[in-house]
Amino acid sequence: MWAFANKLASPRNFYRLAGKLTPWLGGASLILLAVGLYGGLVLAPQDYQQGDSFRIIYIHVPSAWLSMFGYAFMAVSGAIGLIWRIKLAEAIAASVAPIGASFAFLALVTGSLWGKPMWGTWWVWDARLTSTLILFFLYLGVIALNAAIEDKRNAARASAVLAIVGVVNIPIIVYSVEWWNTLHQKATISIMKMQAPSIHIDMLIPLLIMALAFQLFFFTVVLMRTRGELLDRERNSRWVQELVDGKTPATTAKANEFSVSPPTS
């Protein structure tokens, strides 16, 4: 088991595996996206209060979820990189940061677009909007720190520390901001009241499909970016140079089987 994990975590093997997985994940995400959008924009009934403008939740809610998931994912892979010094985890953490920031930005923009007809303004200093904005800033801090340190491995470790500090702080920030001001409508779906979510089932199903599609999209992009990140970080290693020289990855893999694979004990 440990040997298998070790083998998977070697940049070369991950690069190949990720390359194989990407089209499948991306394809599944596209199909689910099409189904979810059709369900959300066409099949789901109108909201009795908000009319058609509620339909933006099919983008807004999944992006908000993923912006939070992305931060936790980044912190966990950063911590793994920090503790066990796994290069792959460092590369993943570095490649998740801009993706999570984009989802936070998307959540802010769609929320603002929805707020204009509903609340009458583009922006309100409401608790959840503000904490998403702060989350966005935290992402930007991690990205900036990553870019500022030249040595890639040091940069990864420094931003991992920052991400972990951020994770400790996020609950405090969220509760302090919530306590400071609350206007946003309450969470529509929560695990605590799963029996009776305050959303109609016809609206809920497309939302869950969209959430799954976004999640798969997230992983697709993470895999793609991590592959690029790995090539950049490992540019001096043999497997990357062989890849660039035009040999197919499969043959180089076979040729390197004995020299590169970690010792199994």
Partner 1 sequence: MSNWAAFQALLKRDLLLYYRHRAELLNPLLFFIIVVTLFPLGISPEVRILEIIAPGVIWVAALLAAMLSLDNLFRSDFEDGSLEQMALSPHALPLLVLAKVFAHWLVTGLPLLLLAPLLGVFLFLPQEATPALLLTLLLGTPVLSLIGAIGVALTVGLRRGGMLLSLLVLPLYIPVLIFAANAVNVAAAGFPITGQLYLLGALLSLSLTLAPFATAAALRISLS
CB contact at 8 A, 200 and 189? no
The stretch among 16-24, 160-168, 202-210, 224-232 that binds partner 1 (CB under 8 A) is 160-168
165 binds partner 1 (CB under 8 A): yes
Contact pick of 44, 80, 94, 134 for partner 1 (by CB under 8 A)? 134
Does the protein bind partner 1 through residue 140 (CB under 8 A)?
yes
Shortest reach from residue 47's CB to partner 1, in Å: 33
Instruction: Tell me the window of 45-53, 93-101, 155-163, 191-199 that interacts with partner 1 (CB under 8 A).
Output: 155-163
Q: Report CA-CA distances (Å) from 265 to 10, 84, 96.
A: 17, 18, 33
Q: Give the tokens for residue 104.
A: 């936070």
The answer to whether residue 148 forms part of the interface with partner 1 (CB under 8 A) is yes
For partner 1, how many residues bind (rule: CB under 8 A)? 25
Residue 137 near partner 1 by CB under 8 A: yes
Q: Which is nearer to partner 1, 55 or 157 (CB)?
A: 157
Coil, helix or strand for 50? Answer: coil
Cβ 92 vs Cβ 226: under 8 Å:
yes
Measured from the CB atom, the residue of 110 and 146 that comes closer to partner 1 is 146
Distance spanning both ends of the chain, measured CA to CA: 11
Would you say the C-alpha torsion 165, 171, 174, 178 has a positive or negative sign?
Answer: negative
Query: DSSP 3-state assignment of 47?
Result: strand
CA distance 81 to 97: 15
72 near partner 1 (CB under 8 A)? no
Query: Could you tell me the smallest distance in angstroms from the CB atom of residue 153 to partner 1?
Result: 9
Residue 35 CA neighbour count, 13 Å, CB half: 16
Among 8, 109, 144, 183, the residue binding partner 1 under the rule CB under 8 A is 144
Shortest distance (Å) from residue 163 CB to partner 1: 11
Can residue 74 be called a binding residue for partner 1 (CB under 8 A)?
Answer: no
Give the Cα separation of 105 and 111 in Å (integer): 10
Burial 145-168 (b: 16+ CB within 10 A, else e): bbeeeeebeebbbbbbebbbebbe
Among 79, 164, 224, 255, binds partner 1 (CB under 8 A): 164
Cβ proximity to partner 1: between 12 and 184 the closer is 184
The answer to whether 79 contacts partner 1 (rule: CB under 8 A) is no
Q: Interface residues with partner 1 (CB under 8 A)? A: 134, 137-138, 140-141, 144-145, 148-149, 154, 157-158, 161-162, 164-166, 168-169, 172-173, 176-177, 179-180
